[in-house]
Chains A and B, each alone.
With several copies, the nearest count.
Chain A
Amino acid sequence: MTVPVRFQLTDDQRALRDGVRGLLARRFDRETLRAAVDAPGRLDRALWRELGAAGFFALRVPEAEGGVGLGLSEAVLAFEEAGRVLLPGPLVATHLAAGVVPGAADGSVVVAAVDGGLVEWLDAADVVRGEAGGVVPLRSVDPLTPLHRVAGGAEGGGGRVAVLLTAAEQLGTATRVRELAVQHARTREQFGQPIGAFQAVKHLCAQLLVRAEVARAAVYAAAVTGAPVDIAAARLLADEAAVRGARDCLQVHGGMGFTWESEVHLHLKRAWVRAQRGGGRTESEELLAADLTA
């Protein structure tokens, strides 16, 4: 009996993930992140084109149409990496526009979209998709995501794939804040020992891992099946892993996480922003409830 490819990353998928990680480490390191925080609203168009050239936006566009011809699984891995480093910009909207809006695929055109009653990066975008009449700028809680509020009730928007890719970004944050918490717990000393030697800190870190890994299984599975109910589950678990994770990471960091210079609060704020996409939790929960009676 042959051992088939399983519910694990293939070698190609690993290579793709490592490639994206490498690109982002080169082009969006910690200094670039801090610079972006200090110049809110400025989108790095050169980086955007570089992402386009690397296939980030055209990843799922068929090869016949000039795209990379890969699937949701690969897109999820790429977006997880983007979430991990807090890459700014309307990534999901531009990715979804590739193959539809000319120039989106290669990163020469920046595409924003209405989702959850909001538009991210409206002023920086060349094209805005969705009903964006009567937009009002907000003072965004996330220094890396300029926001406009769409007047009127429509808080829905963001299709199935947008929700999944957002969940992948949340997974990236969940993974990153676990790393940050563990790193801090290993090195910060209090009462004569690393704080990671205290059970209370240990257990916070353990739960950071548990939430991230459960979310990972859900997000990757949803990428494989593409089923709405799997995506709804992935979204709930990834939101929880990112938001709770960032808060627990902050708790582990104590006062040091409370400064503007810390990376932790940027993850929390971005996680809040992402959690507003895709029409709120309620819809996902109702979908999952309805599934039980199907």
Chain B
Amino acid sequence: MELSCSPEEEEFRGRLREWLARVLPSLPAKPSPDDWPARRAYDMGWQRMLYDAGYAEVHWDASPTLRLIFLEETEKAGAPYVGAGFVGLLHAGPTIAAEGSDEQRARWLPPILRGEEVWCQGFSEPDAGSDLAALRTRARRDGDEYVVTGSKIWTSHAEVADWCELLVRTDPAAAKHRGITWLAMPMDAPGITVRPLRTLAGSAEFAEVFLDEVRVPVGNRVGEENDGWRVTMVTLSFERGTAFVGEVVACRRVLRELAAEARKNGRWDEPELRRRLGRLNAEFRALWRLTQWNVSEAETTGGVPGVGGSVFKLRYSHARQELYDAAADVLGPDALDLDRPWVLDRLSSLSYTIAAGTSQIQQNIVAERILGLPKGR
């Protein structure tokens, strides 16, 4: 077992760090969170810089360790997040790379890497919830087109996206996981209505997307008709090991900031609070080690996800909520002030045990798929 990196990797880290130090000060000011076009421009601008410097493909082609180093260093340097590029770079792109035709790859991948086109995700539906495969959005074939009707929810960046990776039901008679197809839907097609969805944090981070007889060319289908579930699962397990690297790095920074704030406002003198922060330090150190373990495992197994991914997600989503609860105790009455740091993060942390599979569903998955316990009747 080792935790050190190879000389080549250290060289990569050094080069990246140097580049970040050089370019970050020249970035424009961060746009307001409510200005979607400005956010798109900012995020795509950053992606273009990464592309020009040769870092654009790190999510796709690099070894898991290099990806880990990239995510660690960009977070530590305070670089922009992937933002509007998220779905393109981490979901739709990898799916197309793995399952698309040569033509489809040539059409869609380069604009993603160059920061020219934004993708959004049309998977979740109001009535499906955790039961993703229960989706009802219908697509019927009409000549060379699919005609799509239904609605999607929890779609980020929908207002400014060029494309939507869409799951639709093409065979309503088939068993639930069977009749699903994966489509790339152009967001300027007639019949699409985007309605911002306000969350409990007060922001419109997501949208609902309503589809009324939207026509999508058959050539925009990736994979076979009715094979969309398998195609999607490729996407969903793609970056299992490194999905939260940046966040864990950020949580560890937050912990240090909390300690500093507690020393400033005197709460550091309360042993109970101090020891609680100490326990959280143990927790996030362990989660970081687990990330390294998972990444190393992915490297030796050629990317096949081990037990680590689901285990990580379960523990991390809980730990993140504990972290922001501790932040509230450090802040005292100021924890009620949305203008204070961590307060909005506390609100959004509430989604972590719900989004992308509730903790209840995750525990079922761990128990059934990893531990081999029987399904309930």
**Given the interface contacts A1-B63, A147-B336, does A202 sit within 8 Å of B200 by beta carbon?**
no
Q: Which among A1, A139, A206, A257 has the highest number of chain B CB atoms within 10 Å?
A: A206
A contact residues around B6 at 8 Å (CB): 1-2, 4
Q: Which of A60-68, A84-92, A158-166, A186-194 contacts the other chain?
A: A186-194
Q: Taking the complex as formed, is B230 at the interface, i.e. its CB lies under 8 A from any CB of chain A?
A: no
Q: CA separation between A186 and B375, bound complex, in Å? A: 11
State the Cβ distance, B351 to closest chain A Cβ, in Å. 6
Q: CA separation between A155 and B8, bound complex, in Å? A: 47
8 Å CB contacts to B: which residues of A144-203?
A: 147, 149, 155, 182, 185-186, 188, 190-191, 193-194, 196-203
Whether A201 lies near B199 (C-beta < 8 A) is: no
Q: Taking the complex as formed, is A124 at the interface, i.e. its CB lies under 8 A from any CB of chain B?
A: no
Q: Taking the complex as formed, is A78 at the interface, i.e. its CB lies under 8 A from any CB of chain B?
A: no
**Given the interface contacts A7-B292, A197-B377, A217-B290, does A210 sit within 8 Å of B314 by beta carbon?**
yes
Whether B292 lies near A289 (C-beta < 8 A) is: no
Q: CA separation between A4 and B3, bound complex, in Å? A: 10
B contact residues around A116 at 8 Å (CB): 333
**Given the interface contacts A117-B332, A193-B376, A293-B260, does A265 sit within 8 Å of B129 by beta carbon?**
no
1/0 per residue, CB under 8 A from A, across B341-377: the answer is: 0010001001101110011101110111011111111
Q: CA separation between A74 and B41, bound complex, in Å? A: 52
Whether A139 lies near B200 (C-beta < 8 A) is: no
A contact residues around B131 at 8 Å (CB): 190-191
A contact residues around B2 at 8 Å (CB): 4-7, 224
Whether A237 lies near B282 (C-beta < 8 A) is: yes
B contact residues around A234 at 8 Å (CB): 286
Q: Taking the complex as formed, is B111 at the interface, i.e. its CB lies under 8 A from any CB of chain A?
A: no
Whether B376 lies near A287 (C-beta < 8 A) is: no
Q: Taking the complex as formed, is A236 at the interface, i.e. its CB lies under 8 A from any CB of chain B?
A: yes
1/0 per residue, CB under 8 A from B, across A124-150: the answer is: 000000000000001111110001010
Whether B308 lies near A190 (C-beta < 8 A) is: no
From DSSP, what is the main secondary structure of chain A's interface residues?
helix
Q: CA separation between A265 and B354, bound complex, in Å? A: 14
Q: Taking the complex as formed, is A73 at the interface, i.e. its CB lies under 8 A from any CB of chain B?
A: yes
A contact residues around B275 at 8 Å (CB): 282, 285-286, 289
8 Å CB contacts to A: which residues of B189-231?
A: 197-200, 202
Q: Taking the complex as formed, is A101 at the interface, i.e. its CB lies under 8 A from any CB of chain B?
A: no
Q: CA separation between A205 and B201, bound complex, in Å? A: 24
Supply 24 A–B pairs (Cβ within 8 Å), ascending by A: A143-B202, A149-B333, A186-B372, A188-B129, A194-B373, A198-B360, A203-B360, A209-B307, A209-B371, A210-B311, A218-B285, A221-B3, A236-B279, A237-B286, A255-B124, A259-B198, A265-B200, A272-B328, A282-B275, A285-B278, A289-B275, A291-B278, A293-B263, A293-B268
Q: Taking the complex as formed, is B57 at the interface, i.e. its CB lies under 8 A from any CB of chain A?
A: no
Q: CA separation between A211 and B360, bound complex, in Å? A: 16
**Given the interface contacts A1-B8, A254-B354, does A224 sit within 8 Å of B367 by beta carbon?**
no
Q: CA separation between A240 and B108, bound complex, in Å? A: 48
Q: CA separation between A244 and B263, bound complex, in Å? A: 28
**Given the interface contacts A202-B368, A255-B153, does A233 sit within 8 Å of B358 by beta carbon?**
no
Q: CA separation between A199 and B364, bound complex, in Å? A: 7
Q: Taking the complex as formed, is B315 at the interface, i.e. its CB lies under 8 A from any CB of chain A?
A: yes
Q: Which of B16-24, B77-85, B155-163, B296-304 contacts the other chain?
A: B296-304
Q: Taking the complex as formed, is B185 at the interface, i.e. its CB lies under 8 A from any CB of chain A?
A: no
Q: Taking the complex as formed, is B250 at the interface, i.e. its CB lies under 8 A from any CB of chain A?
A: no
Q: Taking the complex as formed, is A288 at the interface, i.e. its CB lies under 8 A from any CB of chain B?
A: yes
8 Å CB contacts to B: which residues of A203-262?
A: 203, 205-207, 209-210, 213-218, 220-221, 223-225, 229-230, 232-234, 236-237, 247, 250-251, 254-262
A contact residues around B376 at 8 Å (CB): 193, 197-199
Q: Taking the complex as formed, is B256 at the interface, i.e. its CB lies under 8 A from any CB of chain A?
A: yes
A contact residues around B285 at 8 Å (CB): 218, 221, 229-230, 233
A contact residues around B287 at 8 Å (CB): 214, 217
Whether B343 lies near A186 (C-beta < 8 A) is: no
Q: Taking the complex as formed, is A280 at the interface, i.e. its CB lies under 8 A from any CB of chain B?
A: yes
Q: Taking the complex as formed, is B338 at the interface, i.e. its CB lies under 8 A from any CB of chain A?
A: yes
From DSSP, what is the main secondary structure of chain B's interface residues?
helix
Closest Cβ neighbor of A71 among chain B residues? B1
Q: CA separation between A260 and B227, bound complex, in Å? A: 36
Q: Which among A9, A140, A141, A143 has the highest number of chain B CB atoms within 10 Å?
A: A141
Q: CA separation between A213 and B307, bound complex, in Å? A: 9
Q: Which among A215, A221, A255, A261 has the highest number of chain B CB atoms within 10 Å?
A: A255
Whether A10 lies near B277 (C-beta < 8 A) is: no
| Further contacts, 8 of them, CB under 8 A, given A149-B334, A217-B286 | A140-B337, A141-B338, A201-B373, A206-B371, A254-B358, A255-B154, A255-B354, A289-B277
1/0 per residue, CB under 8 A from A, across B166-187: the answer is: 0000000000000000000000
State the Cβ distance, A239 to closest chain B Cβ, in Å. 10
State the Cβ distance, B168 to closest chain A Cβ, in Å. 20
Q: CA separation between A90 and B287, bound complex, in Å? A: 32
State the Cβ distance, A151 to closest chain B Cβ, in Å. 11
Whether A193 lies near B292 (C-beta < 8 A) is: no
Whether A203 lies near B377 (C-beta < 8 A) is: no
| 10 residue pairs, one from A and one from B, having the closest CB atoms | A6-B296, A289-B278, A265-B200, A288-B278, A202-B367, A233-B282, A260-B198, A196-B373, A292-B259, A285-B278
Question: Contact partner of B293 among A140, A191, A206, A220, CB < 8 A?
Answer: A220
Closest Cβ neighbor of A292 among chain B residues? B259
Q: Taking the complex as formed, is B130 at the interface, i.e. its CB lies under 8 A from any CB of chain A?
A: yes
Q: Taking the complex as formed, is A108 at the interface, i.e. its CB lies under 8 A from any CB of chain B?
A: no
Q: CA separation between A142 and B335, bound complex, in Å? A: 11
B contact residues around A216 at 8 Å (CB): 293
1/0 per residue, CB under 8 A from A, across B27-40: the answer is: 00000000000000
Q: Taking the complex as formed, is A96 at the interface, i.e. its CB lies under 8 A from any CB of chain B?
A: no
